[in-house]
């Protein structure tokens, strides 16, 4: 799956990322400030970073892995200076930013390698989101997926959580 995902041409990924971001408009266009948990994308993932400029009324949080199967989200107000790379070279907030209380997150956009229409998700194998999501039960959980990421079925384990809202093309 990763090979297929990485094989999508950059121009196609950019066009599809823009369409997927636009699909979030009904959820993010409200004037009331929300706390939105995003991820800084790897090159083969849906690019969410333009959301910060498109919807400046919201507070944005990005994840940083802290220990095995544990991550926290941190408030990032400037993506050009406050996003760096973690020990595994994954885009992440720099040290010293305020940690976000999981109970204050309104929307959380979850990355993944593949998804099914029923909400099964193939992640990257660390279980970070599966352990974090129960900490924010009030948050609306969403995944954005390129067409190549949508598959008929995926193997799951007992700890794998379903993603209730998958927006795909």
- Hey, how many other C-beta atoms are within 10 angstroms of the C-beta on 163? 21
More confident residue, 49 or 90: 49
**Among the listed residues 124, 114, 127, the one whose alpha carbon sits nearest the alpha carbon of residue 154:** 114
Domains for the chain: give ranges and CATH numbers.
2-168 (3.40.50.10420)
pLDDT at 88: 79
Q: What is the pLDDT of residue 48?
A: 95
pLDDT confidence tier of residue 124, bands split at 50, 70 and 90: confident
pLDDT tens for each residue of 60-88: 999 998 777 789 999 999 999 999 988 77
pLDDT band at 96 (very low <50, low <70, confident <90, very high): very high
* pLDDT at res. 43: 92
């Amino acid at each position: 799956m990763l090979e297929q995902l990485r094989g999508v041409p950059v121009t196609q990924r950019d066009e599809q990322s823009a369409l997927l971001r636009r699909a979030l408009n009904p959820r993010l266009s409200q004037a009331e400030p929300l706390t939105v948990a995003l991820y800084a994308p790897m090159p083969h993932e849906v690019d969410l970073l333009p959301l910060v400029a498109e919807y400046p009324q919201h507070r944005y949080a990005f994840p940083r892995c802290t220990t095995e199967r544990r991550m926290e989200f941190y408030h990032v107000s400037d993506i050009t200076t406050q996003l760096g790379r973690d020990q595994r070279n994954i885009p992440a907030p720099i040290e010293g930013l305020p940690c976000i209380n999981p109970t204050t997150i309104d929307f959380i956009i979850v990355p993944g390698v593949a998804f099914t229409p029923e909400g099964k998700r193939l992640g990257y194998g660390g279980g970070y989101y599966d352990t974090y999501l129960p900490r924010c039960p009030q948050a609306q959980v969403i995944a954005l997926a390129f067409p190549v990421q949508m598959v008929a079925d995926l193997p799951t384990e007992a700890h794998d959580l379903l993603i209730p809202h998958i927006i795909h093309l």
